[in-house]
Amino acid sequence: MAAERTFLAWIRTGIALMGFGFVVARFGLFLRELTIAGTHQHLPSGFSLPIGIGLIGFGVLVNIVSVVRHRRYIAAIDRNDFRSAFGSTFAIWVALLLAVAGLAMTMYLIRL
């Protein structure tokens, strides 16, 4: 059961990344609309689309990797070889990439 909960947590993480990527990508569209409406001076909006697409792609990648890892978890548990087969490297890389994305978005928002 713990393996299934872990798998579902990674699926939720992937879905959240995709949803967040969509919001970030649409944020650029919102900034363009504000510029067109004349309520603000020219606001840079070209950076949010590639970041949003990257987050969506990263969410898809997290979901794919979580499926592969879950299948390997179950096979390792059946072999009674779980501890030596898996570590937290994947989670660390996800956290680091999200930290870099967060820093990039922070720098982008500071420029506004």
Give the pLDDT confidence of 25-80 residue by residue, as tens digits. Answer: 887 777 666 666 665 555 555 677 888 888 899 999 999 999 998 888 888 888 87
Q: Using an 8 Å Cβ cutoff, are 52 and 21 in contact?
A: yes
* Structure confidence at residue 59 (pLDDT): 92
Q: Using an 8 Å Cβ cutoff, are 24 and 51 in contact?
A: yes
Task: Output the CA angle 29-38-53, nearest 5 degrees.
Answer: 10
User: What does the mean pLDDT of the chain come to?
Assistant: 80
Give the pLDDT confidence of 86-107 residue by residue, as tens digits. Answer: 667 888 888 888 888 788 778 8
* Structure confidence at residue 12 (pLDDT): 92
Which amino acid is present at 13? T
